[in-house]
A and B are shown apart, each in its own frame.
Chain A
Amino acid sequence: MKLTKLTAFLLGSVMLGGTAHADKWSDMFPHIKNSGDIPGECSYESMSKKDYSGRKLTINTHAVPVMGEPTALHAEQFAKLTGADVNVIHTPAGDLYSKAMVPFQTGQAPYDIVFGFSQWISDWKQYLEPVPAKYVNMKQMQDVTNSHIDVNSWDGTMYQFPIDGDRHYLKYRKDVIDNPEMQAKYKAETGKELRVPQTWKEYGEIATFFNGWDWDNDGELEYGSAEVMAKDNLMFAAFFSRAVAYAKNPKTPGGFFFDLETMEPQVNNPGFVEALTDWVAATKYVPPGGINFTLGDETMSFGGGQTLFSFSWDDAFVAAMEDGSPIKNKVGAAPLPGAEKVWNRSTGKWDNEYNQAPYIVWGWTSAVAKKSKNHDMAFDYLCFFSNDANHRADIAIGRFGVNPFRKSDFDPDLYVKNQGWDPEIASEYSKTLLDMEEKSTNRVFPLRTPGVAQFTSAVATGTSKALAGQLTPQEALDEVAAEWKKIIARVGEDKLREAYAVGVALEDNLE
């Protein structure tokens, strides 16, 4: 009797002691209460052993909440654990580049850590401290998908620290596409199947059909598609997403934006022109003002239930699936539509076969300044930011903007349990993203050459002129190509080719 009681007592206290250990961190830091601290080189436990008291860390990140809120939150946690003084500044997305580049180019380093878009790597890698091997070899880094390691590295060296994943994918209203009544109606009036569009032409047809009437009975008109069309620094990515299917031909390796050998811009070839023609037609099935939609407007539009489709970053999907959203669990995810034909630049003709190509769009990333005096602290912070416990908690909070980028992220249960997603939708989401990341062989990598901002700015100007009807698609893209040639002349053809080759190698040598 006594022995049993004693054993029970001892057993109980050992168990309590054990769980008390795992709960110690989640008690102090409610953010990780679901998982507790997960052991690793950068876990809460490990960080608490470091002492950075008396040292200051300065971080430039995006506005709250996307990326901004997790940065500030983890900064607070880091400061508590290590005694460091962490300062975070928030900057709107469009200004992150200049806010980092002005100091870099004048030889200063007011920020130890900068957040930005991974496509800037070519412009700013000279100012960045490569990620030390110690961090690259950590288990949490090895879990990152290959695409994201590639997008943050240059020629084998990792310059940027992956903390987020981004991609473009198709989002659609399940309550319409999977709805038997709507399917019947669509078939009756058009003779075609209502399904997740497989090509951009199909996308356009379905969007046009559902444009301008109230198909979900909420008293408001709905429209076909919400797209990023405003002439800002993101819309060129929406254009490229539409273009890759028409222009990325697996039979013609050696460059997508340029022909690698001649450095001739490809942006005005018939593949791109076809995509731009589609896009100009899209201006007919976007909501009023859609031609001036920024990513924020697109998120509000699709996420607020105004359109049938959307296809750029995660934000719209996340907004739609938030608790309190009227269309929660009514949206689905699918790969970007392909095209029924793809341009072959070697033969100068269209190959009339189905083609699909994921556009590995750049996304949020972070980096440590070379001139910073706090490399150790900075990398520890970034590692802590993306440690298993924090990461698991972050992806469960939609507004944080932290999206899956690790192989272990693509587990539907995470979304079902933590965010209340419908299991079917969670599976569809995970599968779509994982396939794009790991399984596709016909990928396009973002343009990451010197002067990338100038190239994309030219694309934005040209395509928006076409959208506004100031020029025809061919004229607009010819203008862009001409501007690209001038930029190449300024950068230097050889220098550009060298840089572009890095990306092409990734596209062509898959694995």
Chain B
Amino acid sequence: MYSSQKRRRIKPFARPTSFDINVVFDIRHYQHVKYGNVISPYFPTAGEPEAFKVMEGEVLMQTNKPSVRRYGDHQMHVFSFANGLEATDDRGRVTGVLNANDGDNPDKASVLAGLKYAGVAVTEFTPEKDIFEQGFVLTLAGLNTIFNNGSSIIYPGDILCADIPRAAGKGARKNRALQTGIPRDKLQFITTPYRELKAEVGEEIASRFIMGTALSYSRPGSSVDIVLHRCNVVCTRKATPTVPLVIQGGSSSSKRKGKKT
């Protein structure tokens, strides 16, 4: 049995100080994945159409690949499913050699290289029903409550990053918390503390996916309060302090020539 409180995403903060914009669904990426055009995906595609739906509070990404950005408009094209993602190189070209089931720690940096963090969905969008041009709402900043669907315990003050789901080898558990109401086939983007993502993919890539700062303790499968912020940059200075500095929330940042790791 589950309580209704667990099923719902209770938002103790009703998104005060939020900054929202209208975005549109990345329909080309959706068609690319849904109709089997991905030759060697990192993650398997999903069978049911509901898996491609955008739900409230989901982490949204955009593609960073030149092949799918030719919309010829000024809109932000986003999606919320990790199914069918491909590994790409630095220039956005599909390498097609990696698969999440290949081992315990496949190189996820090459998958993240093809992605760009967008924000958190405020309203939902169903690609086969809703009007593409109308789009939906995405929040970039402000207080919010999202679902901790990663595998990490989040502590207040942790810097959170958007991430792709952990790889699940043959016979292994999926190692992620499944949100009720979401099809099991769907691979949602997850939340991972910055320090863990940095250890996996390096500082430069991890800093591109910073979502905000956690405000509450959260175990996998429960909700986490977060203050979202987008003007983030991580820089490493040669002079003291020697530790990497994370400057957030619109602060100015310094970056010395050739010192960035």
Q: Is B a genuine binding partner of A?
A: no
